[in-house]
Structure 1
Amino acid sequence: MSAATILCIGTVGIDEVETPASRVENVLGGSASYFAVAASVVGSQAQLVSVVGDDFPDAHRQMLAARGADLSGLVTLPGKCFRWGGRYHEDMNQRETLYTDLNVLSQFDPHLPDHFREARYVFLANTDPSLQIKALDQVRAPDLVVLDSMNLWINIARPVLHEAISRVDVLLMNDEEIRQYTGATNVLIGARQILEHGPQAVIVKRGEYGAVLVHREGMFTCPAFPVDHVVDPTGAGDSFAGGFVGHLAQTRDHSLANFRRAIAHGCVVASFTVEDFSTNRLVSVTPESLVDRYRALRDLTQFDDVIPAHPPVGSVHHAQGAPH
């Protein structure tokens, strides 16, 4: 089967990450970077639309190209790359941002190369919703559009974000963001409210607890694959998206059953990401290890149907034909 292509609008940058055990600097970061490599793990190729500075290392560019990414839309501008620094504590759910230097990212103005405009699958990574809309306006007739967003845009650009969400098929947000966006105290109720405004599905990102799919045709919950040693959670969400959209693009099947499989692929791919810094672990994933972990996740979540042999204690049981 030939590789499917996915248009991805997002960030490509340089990260510095510190954990209790180690520290790295000048490693590849950015939502589009993680998405592209993750999508390649499941057999899909990304068409990247982003901006980098003239300090972007050739090694990173070559690695992305080697993973099948089309870099025609990766614009190089004079100046420095987008740079982010973060520190994790013993509880890897707690992250401290040390700095965010937009640099050339502040000039990001997405213009799609002509052949990108024919994209059938589109991932709008977390960024200003006005830029997401501008990019989407340039795509002629996509089959599936997935959008990721965050609390910042809910706070400062809600009307534009609402417009963007109304135009996509799948929305990715965490539970806190869904509550904030909809005002619902219950995440499932909030997700169903979002379905009334355009999307056919909402995926609730739950970090180390996996993901919940709220679809117009049903629901599904998938746990994260248990990892013995988490090194760096950075990029796990974008890696999930890469596995999820990558599977849908590769199979071209938008049924609820295949959405479930796609979410499982996303959880599996993200589990590889956290085992090392940056995309280091992703680039070493083999098809065999992907399938093995997918099947292991399936086995972890399967259980047999059980029919109680006796009624619950305290229940009223009347034998058939007995007088009442």
Structure 2
Amino acid sequence: MDKILVIGSVALDTIATPVGAKKEVLGGSATYFSISSSFFTGVNLAATVGEDFPKKHSSLIESFGVNIDGLETKKGKTFRWHGSYVDDLNCAKTIDTQLNVFADFRPNIPKSYLDSKFIFLANIDPDQQLFILNKFKQSQLIGCDSMNYWIQNKRSSLKKLMKKVNFVFLNDAEAKLFSEESNILKAGKYLLSLGPEYAIIKRGEYGAALFAKDSILLLTPAYLLETVCDPTGAGDTFAGGFMGYLSKAGRINDTAVQKALLYGSVMASFTVEDFSVNRFSGLKKKDIEERYKKFRKLIMV
């Protein structure tokens, strides 16, 4: 079982939802992805934080078995994000973003990470994503995420990146923006035309769509919950469960990828039940398997 390397952000989030509010809790794309993946496989994390980053947070990440040798502490303040879901749980309203030490993020890749066969490039500058990939020659599976800002401002670099990845994860708004299509089927086909073997379009409370070879392999709903507490990090948690399962399975084919989509959805359903990564504390593998079986039964005809 090969470890997954995730490169992204570790942050402090201030969040308001209809359920409540939290100030400067643990967040960041690499945080959510790594903890989610850790339930399936070993994880190496590369990110940067400031001198003000609480030791308890790095200890928490490490407690899930995540290797944080690549978590670099730099002089300055940690990346902070302040968002609100009070008006719409499907769409975060950004109140404030302070990049701080993340503004000039150049990941520290320890030598022990260089043999990573599975890599996830979380939402960072696509030029940085391309730079990072040049360090790895033997990778078997590469996934990436992006966002509207990079699609609008680094389209050319993002297209180059698409030729080098196996999986691309975008939400429906991002996929439509990148493809300049209003239909997710056409958007999925466009993404595949750029090079990835699989395209995953995340649709929030409406689930996810998996595309391969100009067809929809699987279209799933989200796992239904009575209460959603905090949607922050759900997409990165989804990607973590997805790629974590594939690493554990040790194979990449349509059947394995379909199962990965379900596991990604299940992991995302856990994270939204509480703020930050709190829901993962005390979560057991048997809890994941029970929800996976229930979810699979619900969507089968």
The equivalent of 1:307 in structure 2 is none
Moved more, 143-152 or 175-184: 175-184
1:110 positional shift: 1.9
Match status 1:190 vs 2:187? yes
1:205 positional shift: 0.6
Structure 1 pair 39–265 and aligned structure 2 pair: CA distance change class (3 A):
same
* 3-state SS of paired residue (1:281): helix
1:279 positional shift: 0.2
Structure 1 residues 43-122: aligned runs within 5 Å: 43-122=40-119
1:190 positional shift: 2.3
1:66 positional shift: 1.1
Structure 1 residues 253-292: aligned runs within 5 Å: 253-292=251-290
Q: CA separation in 2, counterparts of 1:217 and 1:162?
A: 18
The equivalent of 1:155 in structure 2 is 152
Deviations 1:56-95 (A, max 9, x none): 1111111111111111111100111000111111531132
The equivalent of 1:7 in structure 2 is 5
Structure 1 residues 168-317: aligned runs within 5 Å: 168-216=165-213, 218=215, 219-303=217-301
> Contact between 1:9 and 1:32, CA under 8 Å: does it hold in 2?
yes
1:23 positional shift: 1.2
Q: CA separation in 1, counterparts of 2:282 and 2:63?
A: 13
- What letter corresponds to residue 302 of structure 1 in structure 2? M
The equivalent of 1:132 in structure 2 is 129
Deviations 1:252-287 (A, max 9, x none): 111100101000000000000000000000222111
Deviations 1:107-151 (A, max 9, x none): 211231112111100000011101111111111211100010111
> Contact between 2:2 and 2:116, CA under 8 Å: does it hold in 1?
no
- What letter corresponds to residue 122 of structure 2 in structure 1? A
Moved more, 111-120 or 216-225: 216-225
1:217 positional shift: 7.7
* 3-state SS of paired residue (1:261): helix
> Contact between 2:77 and 2:101, CA under 8 Å: does it hold in 1?
yes
* 3-state SS of paired residue (2:42): strand
- What letter corresponds to residue 188 of structure 2 in structure 1? A
Moved more, 184-193 or 136-145: 184-193
Q: CA separation in 2, counterparts of 1:33 and 1:185?
A: 32
Q: CA separation in 1, counterparts of 2:116 and 2:208?
A: 26
Q: CA separation in 2, counterparts of 1:172 and 1:138?
A: 22
What TM-score does the superposition give when structure 2 sets the normalisation length? Answer: 0.96
- What letter corresponds to residue 158 of structure 2 in structure 1? L
Match status 1:141 vs 2:138? yes
1:194 positional shift: 2.2
Q: CA separation in 2, counterparts of 1:212 and 1:13?
A: 28
Where do 4+ consecutive residues of structure 1 move more than 3 Å? none
Structure 1 pair 21–179 and aligned structure 2 pair: CA distance change class (3 A):
closer
User: Paired residue for 2:30, among 32, 35, 40?
Assistant: 32
- What letter corresponds to residue 182 of structure 1 in structure 2? S
Q: CA separation in 2, counterparts of 1:82 and 1:159?
A: 27
- What letter corresponds to residue 301 of structure 1 in structure 2? I
- What letter corresponds to residue 244 of structure 2 in structure 1? G
Larger Rg: 1
CA RMSD of aligned residues (A): 1.3
1:238 positional shift: 0.3
- The gaps in structure 1 that reach 5 residues or longer are 304-324
1:180 positional shift: 1.6
1:216 positional shift: 2.1
Q: CA separation in 2, counterparts of 1:31 and 1:137?
A: 22
* 3-state SS of paired residue (1:221): strand
Q: CA separation in 1, counterparts of 2:156 and 2:203?
A: 25
Query: Percent of counterpart pairs with the same letter?
Result: 38
1:212 positional shift: 0.4
